[in-house]
Amino acid sequence: MARTGMANLTARWRRMVDDTGTAVWTADEAQQILDAHRTDVWDETLNVTAIMETGSTVYKTYHSKFDNLEETTGGTTIFRLYDSGGTAIGTALYTPDYERGVIQFAADQAGSTRYLDARAYDLTAAAADGWTERMAKVSGWYSFQSEGKGFNRSDYFKHCKSMADYYSGQSPMTVTLLKRSDIP
């Protein structure tokens, strides 16, 4: 069953894969494609930005290195912001920008360290997968001529391939740290 915190991500993804009219994918199918490109974020130390307000330096804006975050639906399972003691920070104290990975506090945090647990999504890689699926669905389409008129249904296959290639090239490179457990 599609999670409610995925609604905005799914809507943005649907626009990327031209699935805004009559839906090609169900909500569950769309979420499954997005989940294939999910990164679970644990204990991320957020970067803080200092700004000047009425002659004083204040710390209200915190940035994650991740964007396209799944929205919280009231709990702390999917999106959790907390302090160095592990205490959750109440949602009334900040406003998250899930799309950009920015947390804006209402009050100065005095530069205190803030941590994040969240789910981040690579929308461009998911869009490439969506276009690849569309390409597979129309792979049997063919072009023909009848009575001097041409019907080029196979052009849609080329369009799908072009869009899949485009989004594949937009996805950021990922780096993974591998740690050997047999070496102390």
Dist. CA 141–CA 155, nearest whole Å: 9
**Cα–Cα distance measured from residue 4 to residue 172, given in angstroms and rounded to the nearest whole number:** 26
pLDDT tens string, the chain, 184 residues long: the values are 889 999 999 999 999 999 987 789 999 999 999 999 999 999 999 999 999 999 999 999 999 999 999 998 766 678 999 999 999 999 899 999 999 999 999 999 999 999 999 999 999 999 999 999 999 888 777 777 778 777 777 788 888 899 999 999 887 666 777 888 888 7
The pLDDT value recorded for residue 74 is 66
d(CA 34, CA 10): 8
pTM: 0.83
Return the pLDDT at 75. Answer: 64
Give me the residue spans of the domains in the chain.
38-121, 123-170
- Give pLDDT, residue 76: 66
94-97/38-45 β-pairing: unpaired
pLDDT computed for residue 36 by the predictor: 96
Phi and psi at 61, nearest 5°, equal: -110, 120
Interacting residues of 131 by C-beta distance below 8 A, sequence separation 6+: 17, 160, 161, 163, 164, 167
What pLDDT score was predicted for residue 40?
95
pLDDT at 154: 77
